[in-house]
Amino acid sequence: MIGRLRHVRAEMLGLNRRNHAYLFAYNARDRHRIVDDKQATKTALEAHRIPTPQLRTTCDVQWRVAELCDRLALVGDFVLKPARGAGGAGIVVIVDRDGERFVKASGARLRRRDLALHACDVIAGAYSPAGRGDVLLVEERLVAEPTLAALAYRGVPDVRVVVFRGVPVLAMLRLPTRRSDGRANLHLGGVGAGIDVAAGTTTWAVRRGRRVDRHPDLDVPIGGIAVPAWDDVLLLATRAADAIGLGFVGVDVVIDARHGPVVLELNARPGLTIQVANRRGLRPLLDTVAGAELPASAADRVAFGRALSSAGRAGS
């Protein structure tokens, strides 16, 4: 066991190496600007016929917030997002109504005034880098596919796929918890479960850097779950990376009960906890892909990634 841990540690990709060897080398700066704006990302993906959550409306000036709230009062469910927010900050998921109050995914109730104040904060730039003015996006609420919904506490789980040079190299299932307020982000308290890229099944899970075998709120086992539509998830993530033009990127995919796999967003600076969730370092995977002559088609590159994953598991 100690020898295995040392081996994994030697393979781990650190932040400095990630930044200098991969982000700066493979991600053009103008591509970052697209990914850092969720509205621009959605436009770029839709131009390549890649499914994303439906955008219902936007709001970019505070004097329109009252009118927006009037419209939202007639809608049963929706999602509010800052266009330039990061890490899940500023996202509010409304799943139902309780009289005049809006019910969040976590079960908390919001008054109309609370929703209006949050919208004003988003537009003022409370969740954007350096406090720049922002745009509030109102999207349809995705509904989790039943197999994965059973692993999530009051929220929608997503699959993070790290794609390098158009090859999916690592993946994890991100699960909402009570602490994460129904959001799947790990730094908010969500659970990250590694996924065997070749097989499409969950393996090892972590929360706050520590191993967990069962969901902390639902007490259901996390490992050994076959992720539905796995072939489609990998192909969609690969196509999304191609569409945006980033060489090293994290693609977040939700498997919606009605629409199937949908790209939620992309991250040009994907976190590295995915290595802990998989008990597998990125360095040898990236080294192999960096030195390979890769096929042109997305489907063939997905096959390359799955074969790479399988070979690495067999040798571990």
pLDDT for 5 beyond 90:
no
The type of residue at 296 is A
Q: Which residue has the higher pLDDT, 58 or 271?
A: 58
Q: What pLDDT shows up at residue 88?
A: 79
HEC readout, 239-305: HHHHHHCCCEEEEEEEEECCCEEEEEEEECCCCCHHHHHHCCCCHHHHHHHHCCCCCCCHHHHHHHH
CATH superfamily of 2-52+144-315: ATP-grasp fold, B domain (3.30.470.20)
pTM value is 0.92
CA 49, 50, 54, 60 torsion-angle sign: negative
13-27, 52-66, 141-155, 177-191: segment of lowest average pLDDT: 177-191
Residue that is written with structure tokens 């590295």 in the block: 272
Percent pLDDT > 70 in the chain is: 96
Q: What pLDDT shows up at residue 189?
A: 84
**Nearest-angstrom CA–CA distance, 143 and 157:** 10
**Nearest-angstrom CA–CA distance, 42 and 27:** 19
Q: What pLDDT shows up at residue 3?
A: 56
Percent pLDDT > 90 in the chain is: 71
Q: What pLDDT shows up at residue 314?
A: 53
pLDDT for 315 beyond 70:
no
8-12, 112-116, 306-310: segment of lowest average pLDDT: 8-12
Q: What is the pLDDT of residues 167-222, one digit of tens each?
A: 999 999 999 998 887 777 887 888 999 999 999 999 989 998 889 999 989 999 99
pLDDT for 14 beyond 60:
yes
Q: Is 316 exposed, middle or buried (0-12, 13-18, 19+ CB in 10 A)?
A: exposed
pLDDT for 256 beyond 60:
yes
Residue that is written with structure tokens 């919904």 in the block: 149
**Rounded mean pLDDT of the chain?**
91
**Nearest-angstrom CA–CA distance, 260 and 29:** 32
For residue 265, the tally of other CB atoms under 10 A from its CB is 21
Q: What is the pLDDT of residues 82-93, one digit of tens each?
A: 999 887 788 999
Q: What is the pLDDT of residues 62-103, one digit of tens each?
A: 999 999 999 999 988 999 999 998 877 889 999 999 988 999
Read off the pLDDT of each residue in 109-131 and give the average, rounded to a whole number.
Answer: 92
CA torsion 43-48-49-51 (nearest 10°) is: -60
